[in-house]
Amino acid sequence: MSWAEEDWTVGLSGRVLQKVKELQVHQERLSRENKQKQLQLDNIHTGVEKQNVKVQADAARTLNSKLTLEIKRLGPVKWHS
């Protein structure tokens, strides 16, 4: 139901009714833009989360490689009993 059809508009002049309609159209446009921007923001957030997971996985692989090289450099562990 548009604002112009609601009871509170009864008795308003045509000019005022037109302004109400313009404001309603403007509000609907802003609402659509807001939904679109929220979707874009959600997509960016998802992309950032995926990138963070990738960076963490890369860092873990790098650390694993460094530790493996260090273990090889140190040689076998000699246990004393």
Rounded Cα distance, 78 and 81, in Å: 10
Tens digits of pLDDT across the chain (81 residues)? 454 456 888 999 999 999 999 999 999 999 999 999 999 999 999 999 999 999 999 999 999 999 999 999 998 877 776
Structure pTM? 0.62
Per DSSP, 31 falls in state H
